[in-house]
């Protein structure tokens, strides 16, 4: 009897042992799954969209691209986290691949400079304008790898529509020029964007996600410029309004001329300075669309009545820089509009002839923005959280005006003479389709 009881006890103990082992194994598997899930979040896959000429008839690259331009090249892509950066891998339907290693993605993400964080309104405008302005970064041959030896340049663009819409443009050499040879559109991973946003801004993404994901007209409030800079001294300066001439149709302005819807014919920039001017808008996933005309309020800048040049100290990086304030009125003198462009280092502006104006120093409207187009080294050198640049429009009461509605995308600066006494300022239109103003400023 005792032996039978011992046998039963042994069987029960064995069963208990195996049950306990199974439970431990289950938890172990669960932990392994969690670890695997954590590992997979360091790798993000996405589909790449191609657009045919029928789907994108208003493509400004048509006529300015390689003869073997491919409208169905891309397939998929991957973003993979490395120890300190991210790798991008793009795959084509024919087996080609393009790899860009060790990209610092933080500089692609809208960032509030620390000195602006105490002002909720300027912080909001800074993020919105950084997101809703294009930033296209060029990678040269030593900065990417591809099994297609024809590729000489790859551009990654965070376009100006929402947080997630990105583009890749690939270039090849033909007739001694670097020309687009294919173009793809993809969605940046939402979870990665939110993670990066919180890392660079130290605030929850959900606080700003609504206007970054979907355009929402910001309120028009008074901007306090003392948050941005301190004025050292000011001077009224002489200027000449040169808008009664045509701008040089070269480079991007030549390619984008067809995106001007109305007026269909014009001879001067002054002809564009009215509220009837229409441009092709920019539509999802990122293409110019003449079927959806973009209205403007360019009549606001019909007459330039005053320019003031300020020497300032930036409160963002403490540098001594310059600010230009332009005051406009419309044809009937009913609306006063101010354009303030500051954080300017005049030494950065090149000396160019009028016909080469499109190669001048340029940037977008907003606060601490990256420029429209940069090399990767320039992109890395321009740290958003320390960038003193700003450009914004106000009414006569100092209330912020939406540059997108008015139809101004930013300035182009260059000097005309080697003595650097005549500073030329041009105004880029909505989506940089045209130049809509030109002013020669006498620097004392």
Question: Per residue in 35-65, pLDDT tens?
Answer: 344 344 689 999 999 999 999 999 999 999 9
pTM of the complete model beyond 0.85 = yes
Task: Classify residue 25: in a domain, yes or no.
Answer: no
- Region 77-99: what's the mean pLDDT? 97
Task: Classify residue 123: in a domain, yes or no.
Answer: yes
- Region 68-80: what's the mean pLDDT? 98
Task: Classify residue 247: in a domain, yes or no.
Answer: yes
Q: Answer yes or no: is pLDDT of 283 > 70.
A: yes
The pLDDT assigned to 444 comes to 79
Q: β-strand 373-375 against 135-139: which pairing, if any?
A: parallel
Q: How far apart are CA 440 and CA 414, in angstroms?
A: 10
The total domain count for the chain is 2
- Residues 246, 320, single domain; the answer is yes
- Residues 131, 76, single domain; the answer is yes
Q: Which residue carries 């020497």 as its tokens?
A: 311
Last residue of a domain, one of 173, 191, 213: 213
The pLDDT assigned to 32 comes to 43
Task: Classify residue 24: in a domain, yes or no.
Answer: no
Q: How far apart are CA 7 and CA 1, in angstroms?
A: 10
Assign 20 a pLDDT band (cuts: 50, 70, 90). very low
Last residue of a domain, one of 213, 235, 264: 213
Last residue of a domain, one of 190, 213, 236: 213
% of the chain residues with pLDDT over 90: 90
For residue 315, give both structure tokens: 């409160």
The pLDDT assigned to 24 comes to 42
% of the chain residues with pLDDT over 70: 91
Q: What is the pLDDT of residues 410-426, one digit of tens each?
A: 999 999 999 999 999 99
Q: Answer yes or no: is pLDDT of 309 > 70.
A: yes
Q: Answer yes or no: is pLDDT of 34 > 90.
A: no
Task: Classify residue 7: in a domain, yes or no.
Answer: no
- Region 361-389: what's the mean pLDDT? 97
- Residues 277, 351, single domain; the answer is yes
Q: Which residue carries 């039963």 as its tokens?
A: 8
Q: What is the pLDDT of residues 185-243, one digit of tens each?
A: 999 999 999 999 999 999 999 999 999 999 999 999 999 999 999 999 999 899 999 99
- Residues 351, 428, single domain; the answer is yes
Q: Strands, E, within 29-146: which ranges? A: 43-49, 74-81, 86-92, 97-103, 135-139, 145-146
Distant-in-sequence contacts of 79-84, Cβ < 8 A, 24+ apart: 79/43, 79/44, 79/46, 79/188, 79/189, 79/192, 80/42, 80/43, 80/44, 81/42, 81/43
Assign 438 a pLDDT band (cuts: 50, 70, 90). very high
Task: Classify residue 3: in a domain, yes or no.
Answer: no
Q: What is the pLDDT of residues 258-273, one digit of tens each?
A: 999 999 999 999 999 9
The pLDDT assigned to 26 comes to 42
Q: What is the pLDDT of residues 160-177, one digit of tens each?
A: 999 999 999 999 999 999
Task: Classify residue 437: in a domain, yes or no.
Answer: yes
Q: How far apart are CA 420 and CA 251, in angstroms?
A: 24
- Region 131-138: what's the mean pLDDT? 97
Q: How far apart are CA 316 and CA 337, in angstroms?
A: 26
Dihedral sign of CA atoms 427, 433, 436, 441 in order: positive
- Residues 51, 197, single domain; the answer is yes
- Residues 141, 257, single domain; the answer is no
For residue 400, give both structure tokens: 């912020």
Q: Answer yes or no: is pLDDT of 14 > 50.
A: no
- Residues 208, 264, single domain; the answer is no
- Residues 90, 170, single domain; the answer is yes
Domain ranges, residue 88: 43-213
Dihedral sign of CA atoms 192, 197, 198, 203 in order: negative
């Amino acid at each position: 009897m005792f032996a039978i009881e011992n046998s039963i006890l042994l069987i029960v103990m064995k069963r208990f042992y195996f049950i306990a082992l199974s439970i431990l194994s289950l938890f172990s598997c669960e932990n392994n799954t969690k670890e695997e899930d954590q590992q997979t979040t360091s790798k993000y896959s996405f589909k790449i969209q191609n657009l045919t000429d029928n789907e994108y008839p208003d493509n400004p690259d048509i006529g300015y691209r390689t003869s073997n331009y491919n409208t169905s090249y891309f397939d998929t892509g991957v973003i993979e986290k490395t120890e300190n950066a991210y790798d991008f891998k793009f795959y084509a339907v024919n087996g080609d691949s393009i790899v860009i290693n060790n990209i610092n993605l933080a500089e692609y993400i809208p960032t509030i400079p620390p000195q602006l964080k105490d002002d909720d309104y300027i912080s909001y405008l800074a993020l919105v304008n950084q997101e809703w302005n294009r930033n296209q970064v060029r990678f040269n041959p030593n900065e990417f790898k591809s099994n297609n030896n024809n590729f000489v340049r790859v551009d990654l663009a965070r376009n100006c529509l929402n947080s997630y819409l990105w583009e890749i443009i690939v270039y090849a050499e033909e007739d001694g020029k670097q020309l687009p040879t294919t173009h793809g559109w993809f969605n940046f991973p939402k979870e990665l964007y939110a993670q990066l946003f919180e890392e660079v801004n130290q605030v929850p993404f959900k606080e700003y996600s609504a206007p970054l994901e979907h355009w929402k007209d910001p309120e028009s409030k008074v901007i306090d410029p003392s948050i941005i800079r301190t004025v050292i001294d000011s001077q009224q300066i002489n200027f000449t309004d040169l808008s009664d001439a045509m701008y040089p149709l070269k480079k991007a302005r030549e390619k984008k001329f067809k995106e001007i819807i109305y007026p269909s014919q014009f001879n001067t920039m002054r002809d564009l300075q009215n509220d009837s001017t229409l441009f092709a808008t920019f539509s999802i996933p990122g293409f110019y669309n003449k079927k959806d005309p973009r209205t403007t309020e360019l009549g606001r800048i019909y007459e330039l009545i005053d320019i003031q040049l300020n020497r300032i100290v930036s409160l963002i990086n403490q540098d001594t820089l310059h600010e230009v304030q332009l005051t406009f009125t419309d044809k009937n003198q009913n609306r006063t509009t101010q354009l303030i462009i500051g954080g300017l280092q005049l030494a950065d502006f090149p000396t160019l002839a009028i016909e080469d104006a499109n190669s001048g120093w340029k940037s977008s409207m907003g606060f601490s923005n990256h420029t429209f187009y940069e090399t990767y080294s320039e992109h890395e050198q321009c740290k958003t959280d320390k960038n003193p640049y700003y450009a914004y429009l106000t009414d006569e009461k100092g209330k912020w005006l939406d540059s997108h509605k008015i139809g101004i995308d930013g300035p182009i600066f260059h000097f005309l003479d080697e003595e650097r006494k005549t500073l030329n300022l041009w105004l880029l239109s909505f989506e940089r389709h045209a130049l809509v103003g030109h002013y020669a400023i006498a620097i004392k």
